[in-house]
A and B are shown apart, each in its own frame.
Chain A
Amino acid sequence: MAMVLAVAACSDPTQNEDTSGSGDDGASSGSEDTTLNAYLYQPPAANWSPMAPASGPDGVVMNLIYDSLLGVDPDYKLYPRLAADLPEISEDGLTITYTLQEGLTWSDGEPFTAEDVVFTYNLMADPDTGSTASGRFADVVGGPEVAAGTADTVTGFTAPDDTTFQIQLSKPNIGLVGLTGNIWIVPQHVLADVPVDEMDTAEFFTQSPNVGMGPYIFQEYATDQYVHLVKNPSFREGEVDIDEIYLRPVTSDVATAQLGTGEMDLVQIAAPDLETVEAMDGIEVGSGPGAGYIRTSVNELKPYLQDPRLRQAMLYAVDRQQLIDEALGGNATPVNASFMNDAMPDDLETYDYDPDKARELLAEMNWDPNQVVQLSWIAGQRDRDTAATILESQLNEVGIKLELNQVQPGQLTDMMNNQSYDMTLYGGGNYATEPFAVFAINACSTHFPAGGNLSYWCNEEFDQLMLEANATVDEAARYDLYQQAARIENAEVPMIYLYNPDTIWAHTDALKGFVPNGDFTNPFWNVQEWTLER
């Protein structure tokens, strides 16, 4: 395929017949309808409910048709969208107050009010709607009752007036803002009569989510072929410039090739294709760091995996920069803690490649070189497969017998349920915006299945610092506590941190205003500033 792309890159992008009907090379006037064709990395599951289980491609669509109180910019900072500003948090940390922008209307012309927000947040807190997020509202007054099915609405969600939305907490939880501010708001006037337990099959969500606050309006989903969106004339920032968007799920190879023919305007590309795409005429490339990272959890329930020196040795033994260069063409950053951005202190141990140090640590702890350690992972993603083989060879080199074990997703779930694996390689997570998000993968109380702690690591001091930080209103003090927690995590190495991959975008140079976002489900975060000049 690399060859195919290379030749495609050399061909003149204008010589081919353009099947999208929008590929004139000449600068056409801005008065004509402009259509953007963008790549979707998988066909959507086609349930566009904010409560539905997280699905990346559906998230791309929802980011265009719905809006949220807050957004996350490419630096992973929160910024106001439907809200007029970031929320105010009371001194005791128990009240979060959002002030909404005034005079906003839904795409069908109905007024948008704080009642819509209360309605949506109630749906999110209720597992009967299919919501997987009900646990996030455990600290909201009345949240646990709704999650348990003993109450219908969360008393802690209120709308004192049309432009104010308030959340009352039973205990301070500052992280709630980062974890729930970007919930997509759905229209109460359309959905009010749908019974709560039928919300996940509501026609609005599965067939035609055509009323929203987002920059675009859902038009049509041609099964497995494309999602057609048209601009929302009532968008809060005024009409957007590009009239129509087609999101098209094709294979990554085909999408990259179509970039060269002009059939595709915006594509997320894989690192190995970067060189080819950079050689294409009229194509610009940009990237941003992802919000999570690739890691290997080490099951500390196994006696032979409990000594932190073993995990430190593993980190020293792996040349992560080589791994990044080999598997991702350099498009990633080595990681040394789960924390990111401001929560990350600058004095962390960097565990630079040092196999001698690894051997020293292993000798010190009397590591048994005959002890086999098995790494189980779901094969099929190029960079992770390479990571697994590099781990195998480099750990073997220092005297850790690593054995590779490819499994199916279902098998891995079973291994997680039985806590039977030694090590498992996986990725994802969103830890860049809200540092408290790492509590779910590191705390004593979040051992899988009660949370995402797949290392079964437990450090009470760490937990205490995290909880204290999440209850601290003062920002400087809060981040200081997070940094202390990060130091503990960094020293104890509950997981073998590998790398934070960049998300790479390529687009036609006719597209102006595009700002690459590391969150690959949100390339359109500033679509209102885009123009397509051709």
Chain B
Amino acid sequence: MTAFVVRRILVNIVVFILIGIGVFLLVRAAPGDPVRMMIRPEDMQEGGEAFIAARRAELGLDDPILIQYGRWFLDALTGNLGDSFVNRQPVSGLLLKRLGPTVLLMSTALAISLLIAIPLGTIAAVRRNTSVDYAAAALSLGVISVPSFFLGIVSIYIFSLQLGWLPSSGMSTPGGGGGTDVLQHLIMPAAILGLASAGPLTRYVRGSLIDELSADYVRTAEAKGAAPGRVVTRHALRNSLIPLITIIMINVPQMLAGAVVLEQVFAWPGMGQLAVRAVTAQDYPVIVGFALYVAALVLICNLLADIAYAAVDPRVKVT
């Protein structure tokens, strides 16, 4: 098992470095010039070229791309992802500041989606092809098809404007604050994000549980006279949750995409806003930093899924 984990980690590190090279090259292959974007054409007269020359030299953009990459890679090994072109602050700091809010939003959303998906999927599977099952199907299809930004705007309208129950934006009240304050701000974006991923998860739980319920060991247990509820919760559900671990882990990056959108709608101070602005300003170091963060997230989630899967299901061959 240890050898398995170590090997997977090493493979992931190599993949991560390759992704880094790819993103670095791709971002620089995009059209445009970040230094020219900093200066208004009107300011270009006479001294403009001096500014551009000074800035290019300072940002190291005059060097061949391989030298730029090498320098960036060596810095990155020490945790230094360079400075943002736009505001001259270290990228790692910019990302770190926004990591907390994004993680808080995503983990709360994940918890909410599990709290919805597991019971709902179980009920739908046990009472397959009844009105309850159809209702659950319709519900999950509904939340899959409605874009989360729309749900966001509608819920701001209902819960903030009409009912006045929840704050409409930000992570804390200016000048106020505290845990309950953050919680109030968290409810709407986390619930919407959770709901969005609860849809597909419910379908997975249902499908996977149905498979288990028709398995031989379930029928054996039933034949032996075990109580139906006990069979479902103790045997079938437990086994059906094994593939769910993978699904959840694969779902996390998708959730991040949803978070990027919702962060815009709710002015949630997470990664999303930073990423969008970095792309429009061609802020190379921030774009690369963000892409690496997403890549790391995906790789770590996949790794955890593999390990967890191997750990809970002895049938998985550890090689």
Instruction: Show the binding face of A for B, using Cβ within 8 Å.
Output: 1, 4, 7-8, 11, 15-17, 19-21, 35, 37, 42-43, 45-47, 52-55, 127-128, 130-138, 144, 147-149, 197, 200-201, 206, 222-226, 228, 244, 246, 248-251, 253-254, 257-258, 260-261, 263, 408-414, 416-417, 428-429, 437, 439-441, 445-446, 448-452, 454
Contact status A452-B267, CB under 8 Å: no
Contact status A16-B164, CB under 8 Å: yes
Q: Which residues on the A side are within 8 Å of B170 (C-beta)?
A: 225-226, 248, 250
Partner of B50, one of A53, A147, A225, A253: A147
The reply to whether the CB of B256 lies closer than 8 angstroms to some CB of chain A is: no
Q: Which residues on the A side are within 8 Å of B58 (C-beta)?
A: 128, 197
Contact status A223-B269, CB under 8 Å: yes
Instruction: Show the binding face of B for A, using Cβ within 8 Å.
Output: 30-33, 36-51, 53-55, 58, 83, 86-89, 97-98, 153-154, 156-157, 160-162, 164-165, 167-176, 264-265, 267, 269-270, 273-274, 277, 280, 282
Contact status B168-A225, CB under 8 Å: no
- Which residue of chain B has the shortest Cβ distance to A198 in the bound complex? B88
Contact status B41-A452, CB under 8 Å: yes
Contact status B36-A135, CB under 8 Å: no
A263 to B169, CA, bound (A): 10
Contact status B48-A135, CB under 8 Å: yes
Q: Which residues on the B side are within 8 Å of A55 (C-beta)?
A: 86
- The distance from the CB of B284 to the nearest CB of chain A, in whole angstroms, is 11
Contact status B43-A136, CB under 8 Å: yes
- The distance from the CB of A321 to the nearest CB of chain B, in whole angstroms, is 28
Partner of B31, one of A251, A411, A454: A411
Q: Which residues on the A side are within 8 Å of B160 (C-beta)?
A: 16, 257, 261
Partner of B55, one of A21, A127, A201: A127
Q: List 27 A-B contacts (CB under 8 A).
A: A19-B167, A20-B174, A45-B86, A128-B58, A132-B40, A132-B51, A135-B43, A135-B47, A138-B47, A201-B83, A206-B87, A223-B98, A224-B98, A249-B267, A257-B157, A261-B161, A408-B31, A410-B37, A413-B32, A437-B42, A440-B41, A440-B45, A441-B41, A449-B41, A450-B45, A450-B49, A452-B41
Counting from the closest, the 7 A-B pairs by CB-CB distance are A410-B32, A135-B47, A16-B164, A452-B41, A224-B269, A53-B38, A134-B47
Contact status B31-A446, CB under 8 Å: no
Q: Which residues on the B side are within 8 Å of A8 (C-beta)?
A: 157, 161
- The distance from the CB of B262 to the nearest CB of chain A, in whole angstroms, is 12
Q: Which residues on the A side are within 8 Å of B86 (C-beta)?
A: 45, 47, 53, 55
Contact status A250-B169, CB under 8 Å: yes
Partner of B89, one of A37, A206, A251, A417: A206
A225 to B185, CA, bound (A): 12
Q: Which residues on the A side are within 8 Å of B157 (C-beta)?
A: 4, 7-8, 257
A128 to B174, CA, bound (A): 36
Partner of B168, one of A42, A200, A257, A408: A257
Query: Beyond A244-B175, A248-B267, A261-B161: 7 further Cβ-contacts under 8 Å?
Result: A1-B153, A132-B39, A135-B44, A135-B47, A135-B51, A440-B42, A446-B44
Q: Which residues on the B side are within 8 Å of A4 (C-beta)?
A: 153-154, 156-157, 161
Contact status A17-B282, CB under 8 Å: no
Q: Which residues on the B side are within 8 Å of A19 (C-beta)?
A: 167, 173, 176
Partner of A147, one of B41, B47, B174, B280: B47
Contact status B273-A7, CB under 8 Å: no
A136 to B36, CA, bound (A): 17
- Which residue of chain A has the shortest Cβ distance to B177 in the bound complex? A222
- The distance from the CB of B179 to the nearest CB of chain A, in whole angstroms, is 16
A42 to B42, CA, bound (A): 23
Given A15-B164, A134-B50, A409-B282, A441 and B37 contact (CB-CB distance below 8 Å): no
Contact status B282-A224, CB under 8 Å: no
A1 to B273, CA, bound (A): 21
A450 to B43, CA, bound (A): 9
A437 to B45, CA, bound (A): 11
- The distance from the CB of B146 to the nearest CB of chain A, in whole angstroms, is 16
- The distance from the CB of A246 to the nearest CB of chain B, in whole angstroms, is 4
Q: Which residues on the A side are within 8 Å of B87 (C-beta)?
A: 45-47, 52, 206
A79 to B47, CA, bound (A): 27
Q: Which residues on the B side are within 8 Å of A454 (C-beta)?
A: 41
- Which residue of chain A has the shortest Cβ distance to B170 in the bound complex? A225
- The distance from the CB of A45 to the nearest CB of chain B, in whole angstroms, is 4
Contact status A225-B161, CB under 8 Å: no
Contact status A206-B88, CB under 8 Å: yes
